[in-house]
Amino acid sequence: MKTKTLSKTLVGSVIVGGLLATAVADAFAQAKEQFIGLPSYRVGAYAAGGSGVFGGWIDYMAMINERDGGVGGVKLTWEECETEYNNARGVECYERLKKKGSTGNSVFQPVSTGITYSVLDKVVADKIPMVTIGYGRTDAADGRVFPWVFPMITTYWSQATTMVKYIGSKEGGIDKLKGKKIVYLYHDSAFGKEGLSVLEKQSQKHGFSFVPLPVAHPGNEQQSQWLKIRQEKPDWVILWGWGVMNPTALKAAAKTGYPREKMVGVWWSGAEEDAIPAGDASKGFTAAGFNVAGPNYPVIKAIQDKVYKQNKGNMEDKSRIGSVYYNRGVVHGIITVEAIRTAQGKYGKRPLSGEEMRWGFEHIDIDAKRLKELGAEGFMPNLKITCADHEGSGLVKYQQWDGKQWKIVSDWIEPDREMVRGMIEESAAKYAKEKGITPRDCSKEG
């Protein structure tokens, strides 16, 4: 009897002591940790994209922790939350991750246009920056109206103009586009409709005829569209697809006899996961990208050395390291880490709040020299964010599928800045008026 009580007390005190110890350790650790919430999606129709992007992103942060001991001595911590690419679940994840870590979630990057729209108002109220790299709301590039949203590197509108430029270069000059016909085969959703208005304007400017053809979600039924393409006999087809729509389109093109060399894809159609399922039908297909494929970059090598050699990597299928989606995730990681570094330069080497991180994102300046230091030369374009311009460079590269892998076929192409910026400002001004927002005066921002 007595021994029982004694052991009980002992067990009890050990438990209490353990709890205290972990609490103390937590408090100690929290002092030097930067929390990043990851609203990932690893199941459902878009799991291929989600697991690649979030895998690459996590691996990059793990590498920074392993190699440099975090950023400025502050360890990076993160937690995933499964969104299933569903807007309601995304909102739940946003709320769940918001208060985690010592300073709360410091940046939200949903990798889904739908979730971006769903939390657009919430990030302003909660003072958490939202970074949408290569998706999301295009006119948020006007930082005066959208101080908390960063559609970085390049937007859909910029991309659409580079597509026209790329097609022009293939035709032997942009002036040769006159009288040509371009079909815009797009996913009939908010994502697909993003390209419509800007391409229409481009067609007026360069004098080509423009035929938009919507494909209903999810896009595995395209017979009537390809029949129409056969009738129209376009010179080029722009494929603005996502998920299963892309291999379906490539297979349908092969069946119709439309040359894949004359098809240009959006960056969400330019991954290995889009090309491989279509087999030989994808050979010759060209797609845009703001990052390139391939593992032969120092930054990927560093991840292999520091993370995978110690069996700590996030990817189960190691052959996917260096794939388009994986590398896109590494780009997400680089931008997040560089923002922390930039903000630490102003606020000191400590965990930063969402507001301080916002300053960091707004002052990111990754030039050629910095890219070389990061081991990402040619991996992603230069990036300079300012108070008014939350997009950065807008540069896009084109890659062609040779049957086995993506091969780079162009240099970084500049978008039609003048037209895109004009449209962004016009659209942002309309939004500001609807919502009663007074745009910031950027000359007064520090």
Residues that bind another protein (CB under 8 A): 40-43, 47, 51, 54-55, 79-82, 86-89, 91-92, 94-96, 98-99, 113-114, 117-118, 120-122, 137, 188-191, 193-194, 196-197, 216-217, 314, 316, 427, 434-435
CB of 123 to another protein, least distance (A): 11
CB of 390 to another protein, least distance (A): 17
Q: Which two tokens stand for residue 368?
A: 């050629």
CB of 171 to another protein, least distance (A): 28
CA distance 294 to 301: 11
* 8 A C-beta contact, residue 382 and residue 371: yes
Q: What SS3 class is residue 321?
A: coil
Return the number of the residue (55 or 241) whose C-beta is nearest another protein: 55
Closest CA to 293 of 407, 130, 389: 407
CA distance 271 to 285: 11
CB of 286 to another protein, least distance (A): 25
Return the number of the residue (118 or 286) whose C-beta is nearest another protein: 118
Closest CA to 94 of 58, 125, 63, 52: 125
CB of 439 to another protein, least distance (A): 17
Return the number of the residue (40 or 323) whose C-beta is nearest another protein: 40
CB of 273 to another protein, least distance (A): 14
CB of 42 to another protein, least distance (A): 4
Return the number of the residue (94 or 184) whose C-beta is nearest another protein: 94
CB of 348 to another protein, least distance (A): 29
CB of 176 to another protein, least distance (A): 29
Q: What SS3 class is residue 283?
A: coil
Which residue bears the tokens 């990402």? 376
Q: Rg of the chain's alpha carbons, rounded to an integer?
A: 24
Q: What SS3 class is residue 259?
A: coil
- Residue 55 class from Cβ within 10 Å (0-12 exposed, 13-18 middle, 19+ buried)? buried
Return the number of the residue (86 or 256) whose C-beta is nearest another protein: 86
CA distance 77 to 19: 21
Return the number of the residue (202 or 344) whose C-beta is nearest another protein: 202
Return the number of the residue (404 or 433) whose C-beta is nearest another protein: 433
Return the number of the residue (126 or 235) whose C-beta is nearest another protein: 126
Return the number of the residue (196 or 276) whose C-beta is nearest another protein: 196
CA distance 135 to 118: 14
* 8 A C-beta contact, residue 239 and residue 291: no
CB of 145 to another protein, least distance (A): 13
Return the number of the residue (113 or 154) whose C-beta is nearest another protein: 113
Name residues whose C-beta falls within 8 Å of residue 339's C-beta, 6 or more positions apart in sequence.
107, 131, 357, 360, 361, 364
Contacts 24+ apart (CB under 8 A), 91-99: 91/115, 91/118, 91/119, 91/122, 93/37, 93/39, 94/37, 94/39, 94/119, 94/122, 96/37, 97/37, 97/38, 97/39, 98/37, 98/126, 98/128
CA distance 382 to 373: 13
Return the number of the residue (95 or 232) whose C-beta is nearest another protein: 95
Beta bridge mates, 36: 78
CA distance 294 to 289: 13
CA distance 201 to 213: 17
CB of 186 to another protein, least distance (A): 12
